[in-house]
Structure 1
Amino acid sequence: MVFSRYENGTDVIERWDRVFEAVAAEPRRQLIVSLLDREPDQSVRLPESAVNPNVPIAPERLERELKHCHLPLLADGGYIEWESDPFVASRGSRFEEVAVVFETLHSFAADVPDQLVLGCQRLERERQFG
């Protein structure tokens, strides 16, 4: 019993570490939120769906970063699936593990400190319209 709890605890810690690594970069956060806004079986276009509208980045640079860093990390975790032609992403088998972070955050937008809300269109909208 103790060993089983230890094994399960270790697994949970590793999963949370992977989730927080997955959401540690803005393009990955934007992509996850874009996928949340779609039906589960729909894909989103890239690189557009990974851009923060308040802080645009050159599309060529973002596409390179997505293909070589962000998308492989998310795909390796099972959070997304992606294709390069057409350049799109869709939910992976473990998408809910990262989605819950944003669903929870959005549902408590009124409690999030202002410095983490102002400038984030999604949280500002959640706060305004609840």
Structure 2
Amino acid sequence: MLSHNPEDESKLYTGDIETTDMEEARLLTEMKHTHLPLLEDYGFIDWDRDTHEVTKGPNFDDIRPFLEMIVAHQDELPDDWL
């Protein structure tokens, strides 16, 4: 997860949960209009809207320890957290 860079926003990761086409469309809409813009505003990612490419932003290392902790303990977290 942390080593994947860059990522195309069209690759929507839903984990092991099954989603309908409608749910995937809703999740993609939320990512494009809410989550990605916020992450970009905070400098955690750089998002090229033209190429749909997401890369690590200048402030990514600020959240890296948190993301590493989540990955390391993912089996202890509620299923809907990931």
CA RMSD of aligned residues (A): 2.8
How far apart are the structure 2 equivalents of 1:62 and 1:94? 25
Q: CA deviation at 1:91?
A: 0.2
Partner of 2:46: 81
The answer as to whether partners of 1:47 and 1:62 remain within 8 angstroms in 2 is no
SS in 2 for 1:78: coil
2:3 equivalent to 1:37: yes
How far apart are the structure 1 equivalents of 2:32 and 2:75? 33
Distance 1:113 1:61, change over 3 A: closer
2:54 equivalent to 1:54: no
| Higher RCO (C-alpha under 8 Å, 6+ residues apart) | 2
TM-score, L = length of structure 1: 0.48
The answer as to whether partners of 1:47 and 1:59 remain within 8 angstroms in 2 is no
Q: Percent identity?
A: 26
SS in 1 for 2:58: coil
User: Residues 68-126 of structure 1: CA distance to partner in whole angstroms, max 9, x if unpaired?
Assistant: 1001110011000112222121000000112210213444x3xx774x16x58x9xxxx
Partner of 1:101: 66
Q: Which amino acid aligns with 1:54?
A: D
Which structure has the greater CA radius of gyration? 1
Give the 5 Å matches for 1:16-35: 34=1
SS in 1 for 2:67: helix
Structure 2: gaps of 5 or more residues: none
Structure 1: gaps of 5 or more residues: 1-33, 123-130
SS in 2 for 1:90: strand
Q: CA deviation at 1:66?
A: 1.3
More helix by share: 1
